[in-house]
Structures are given as C-alpha cells and as structure tokens.
Amino acid sequence: MAVFNRVTIVGLGLIGGSLGMAVRRRHLAREVVGVSRRASTLRRAKRRGAIDIGTTDLRRAVRDADLVVLATPVEDIVHLAERAAARMRSGSILTDVGSAKAAIVNRLERALPRSVAFVGGHPIAGSDAQGINAASAQLFDGSICILTPTSRTSRVALARVARFWNALVDQVLLMSPRQHDHVLAGCSHLPHLVAWTLVRAVTVAPLARAPQSFLDMTRIAKSDPELWDEIFLSNRANMLAAMRRFDRYWRALQATLRRADRAALHRFLTVAKAKRDALGDADDRGWQADDR
C-alpha cells in the first residue's frame, strides 16, 4: 500500500536505483521521480524500472514530492538538501541514505526551513559495485535500516519514514547520529580501511592467482575510493578511535607471536572464532550485501 504519493530520489546509483526498484515493486509510492546529473543515468533507471519519471532538474523534481530521498555521495548530501528544501512544499519530508550521519544531521537541523521535516537514515545494505547497472530490487531484502532522529526530529515524519523503510527491510533501528557513527566506524568503515591496507601491504604477484582467502578478505577494497574517502573523513574521530582499538589488539598479537606463546594465540583465535560464528552469514539471511 502506498505510504507516499510522490517519492523523489536524488542520485540513482546502487542505493538510489535499488530503492526506486524496491519502492515501485512494493507499490509504496504512487509515483517515483528520479534525479540525476546525467541523462544516460535517467534512461537506464527508467529502463531498469527504478523510476516512473526522470529529470536533471532538482527543483522541479522536489516541488510536488511528499518524500525526497537523497542518495548521492555523502559530500553532496548537505548542499543538495539545502537546495531541495528551498523548493519543497510545507509538510513534506526529506531523508537521506548517507553512510556517516552526525555531520549531515547536525548541519541540516540548523540549515533547513521548519516547513520541511528532516529524518536522517542509513540502510545497512550495499555492495562494492556502483551505479544504476548494479542496482537490484532485492538489495534491501533481509537487511536493516538505521534512522537517526534527534530531539528536533518531527515524530510524525519519523513514524512515516520508519513505516516506509519497514516495508523494505527486516528491521528499522533508531539511534542517535553519534551512536550510529561510533558503531559503524568499528564494524563497517574500519573493515574497508583494513581491506585497502591489506591489498597495499601484501604481495600476491609470485602466485599465479591470489588465494581465495585473500580475495574474500579484500572484496570490499574494490569499492569506489571517491565514495569512501568522504565517509572516512566525515567520520574521522570515530575512525581514529576504532583504528587505535584495532592497533591495541594487533600489537598484543605481535607480542604473542614474538613470545611464541601458543596458548595465548589459541585463546585469541578461539574467542574471535566464537564471536564470528555467532554473527552468522549474509547468505543465512537470504541477502548478499555488505554494510557501509
């Protein structure tokens, strides 16, 4: 059943395109309007069933929308939100899917007109692929979406955005933007940085083919550096704290190896294995994705 009359999605890449496809498949909006900078992206989005109408004109696209979803790279979200909100009608809702939240939410809560309600969001689903060609109507199946309300967030708008995402994902979680950035720095942003570091630090050239373990560990290093450098910088303090914590474990492990302390090494690996086993796998949940 439609939650919104007209949903406008700004940015039709992996996330925005997948969202459009999922919304249309589930009839969550009577009409999905897509905004992109390139006409070729709009044509592909239309062909792939992600949008009903496409335009490069942001102002026209948001004018009659009940919900505007910003799904562009993080660094563009704030200025696009400001431009969109200036044209959105009173009572409409603006949300985003950016992977780092505090900087966006803090800025927009101060900058946006009161007539437009803003609700920060982040679906925890994605992959190392980019663009509309990688979009999938199933991307959000079995995943979670984090919404990041603050004391200033309209409860009515929050309830509507939560209802929208509830129809697309398994579970909607509410967190403060600060808590979101702290948690994601450790379990999503740090693994990406570790994967990139591993690729830089290790030589696989003497082997004809990289071992599967190396490919598994470093798949996310194929992600778009342009998308990720912004996320790391936007969540810099939490990233540095997560890196320090990782470093403490890394150094302890080095000391264990130096001492050739097999009991300590075994304990370390056993505790980590139990923790990992308890997490299950993406396949167990029927989706193939990683978080950002």
Q: Is 138 in the site for ligand NAP (CB under 6 A)?
A: no
Helix (H, G, I), strand (E, B) or coil at 36: coil
Per CB under 6 A, the segment of 8-16, 154-162, 171-179, 259-267 that binds ligand NAP is 8-16
Q: What type of residue sits at position 33?
A: V
Residue selected from 9, 14, 28, 184 as contacting ligand NAP according to rule CB under 6 A = 14
Q: Is 146 in the site for ligand NAP (CB under 6 A)?
A: no
Helix (H, G, I), strand (E, B) or coil at 246: helix
Q: Is 34 in the site for ligand NAP (CB under 6 A)?
A: no
Which residue, 31 or 230, is less far from ligand NAP as judged by CB?
230
Q: Is 20 in the site for ligand NAP (CB under 6 A)?
A: no
Contact 26, 40 (CB under 8 A): no
How many whole angstroms separate alpha carbon 147 and alpha carbon 144? 10
Q: Which of 136, 242, 112, 256 is nearest to 188 (CA)?
A: 242
Residue selected from 10, 93, 112, 116 as contacting ligand NAP according to rule CB under 6 A = 10
Q: Is 172 in the site for ligand NAP (CB under 6 A)?
A: no
- The DSSP string of 76-88 is HHHHHHHHHHTTS
CB of residue 26 to ligand NAP, shortest distance in Å: 19
Geometric angle at alpha carbon 5, from 38 and 90, rounded to 5°: 85
Q: Is 74 in the site for ligand NAP (CB under 6 A)?
A: yes
Which residue, 71 or 157, is less far from ligand NAP as judged by CB?
71
How many whole angstroms separate alpha carbon 44 and alpha carbon 132? 7
Q: Which of 143, 222, 220 is nearest to 189 (CA)?
A: 220
Residues 113-132 that bind ligand NAP (CB under 6 A): 122-123, 126-127, 130-132
Residue 94 dihedral angles phi and psi, to the nearest 5°: -120, 135
Q: Is 9 in the site for ligand NAP (CB under 6 A)?
A: no
Per CB under 6 A, the segment of 9-17, 47-55, 200-208, 272-280 that binds ligand NAP is 9-17
Tokens of 109: 């809560």
Q: Is 38 in the site for ligand NAP (CB under 6 A)?
A: yes
Sheet strands side by side (includes 144-147): 121-124, 144-147, 171-174
Q: Is 143 in the site for ligand NAP (CB under 6 A)?
A: no
DSSP 8-class letter at 153: S
Residue selected from 4, 11, 194, 234 as contacting ligand NAP according to rule CB under 6 A = 11
Binding site for ligand NAP (CB under 6 A): 10-16, 35-38, 41, 71-74, 76, 80, 97-99, 122-123, 126-127, 130-132, 224, 227, 231, 292
